[in-house]
Every structure is written in C-alpha cells, then in structure tokens.
Structure 1
Amino acid sequence: MSDHAIDITGDICPFTFVKTKLLVERMRVGETATVRLKGLEPLKNVPRSLTEHGQAILSLEPENGEGPDGVHRLILRKMT
C-alpha cells in the first residue's frame, strides 16, 4: 500500500508528468506513491522523467492484463 495515490488516466502529456511532479513535491523523502496512467506516451515519459528528477521507480505493471496502451500502475519512492 502506498502513502499517496494519483490517477492521471484521463490526462494527456505534458499534464501527466506535471500532476505527478506536483504530487512528489508534496511527499516526504521515503514515502511512496501509486500513479495510475494510460497510454503509450505517459507510459514512456512519466517513469523516465521521474528517474531524471532523482526518484525511484519501484514497479510498473499493467492493470488487469491490459496491453501497452492500457492502464498501468506505477509505484515510486521519493528519494530527494
């Protein structure tokens, strides 16, 4: 279970990362968050951008066996 959660499945880039970054900024170092995202572009860009900003990706898996453009659940840990 994560400390925080956000659902960005209805958003498009660049808002997907902007909303995720705002969540991370409110978190304390060591806390975790679950991010629900959908689509190929967020699936590629959100994890990449988070790691570039020093955060740890703990897991990234599709929900309910959905394909690459379906809903995914990303779990991150705030590192900085």
Structure 2
Amino acid sequence: MSNAESLTNSGTPDAQIDLRGTPCPLNFVRAKLRLEQMAPGSLLEVWLDPGEPIEQVPDSLAMEGYGIELVEDRSEFFALRVRRPTVST
C-alpha cells in the first residue's frame, strides 16, 4: 500500500454506527462488537453524545487495543474514528 493509499483509507470510514442516546457502558459494548465484526485494519466511525460517552468510550476502546484516530466535535455530537488492529490483541 502506498502512502497516498493509506492517507485516503484513513480519511474514509469503512463503516459508521450511531450510538447517540445509548447509555454507558452499552455504547462501548456496541462499538466493540461492531469493530469485532469488521476486517482487521478497518476504520469505524462512531457517533457519541457529549459528556460521559465521549469521555469514556475512546479510553475504553484504546485500553482494548483499538487505535483512536480522530475525535471530532460536530456541535450536536462527537464523531470518533477507531481502527481495528491488523493483528488480534
């Protein structure tokens, strides 16, 4: 994979899941389950509410070995981009 390809791949999520309105820790569980269904190296965009969800979910996913690539404030919610590792942890 060339550098240009990896930059393109990192910008476009392979899948997206809307977890707005989902309480902790259920939002973490759902995000993790979705990541486990995806191919290694895939990028998932997760939509989360402000407050506890955006404070807890990225840290919890990082502790599970997932790569947090972006946390973007979209005013009404946060978009979190998470990469599934290419090697199982």
Q: Which aligned runs of 4 or more in structure 1 are off by greater than 2 angstroms?
A: none
| Within-5 A mapping of 1:1-80 | 1-63=12-74, 66=75, 70-79=76-85, 80=88
Bigger radius of gyration among the two: 2
Q: Distance in 2 between matches of 1:55 and 1:45?
A: 14
Which structure exhibits the higher relative contact order, with contacts defined as CA atoms closer than 8 Å and separated by 6 or more residues? 1
Aligned length: 75
Quote how far apart the aligned CAs of 1:32 are: 0.3
Name whichever structure is richer in helix by fraction.
Answer: 2
Name whichever structure is richer in strand by fraction.
Answer: 1
Could you say what the CA RMSD is over the residues aligned between the two structures, in angstroms? 0.9
Q: Distance in 1 between matches of 2:50 and 2:70?
A: 17
Gaps (5+ residues) in structure 1?
none
Task: Using the aligned pairs only, state the percent identity.
Answer: 35
Q: Which amino acid aligns with 1:46?
A: V
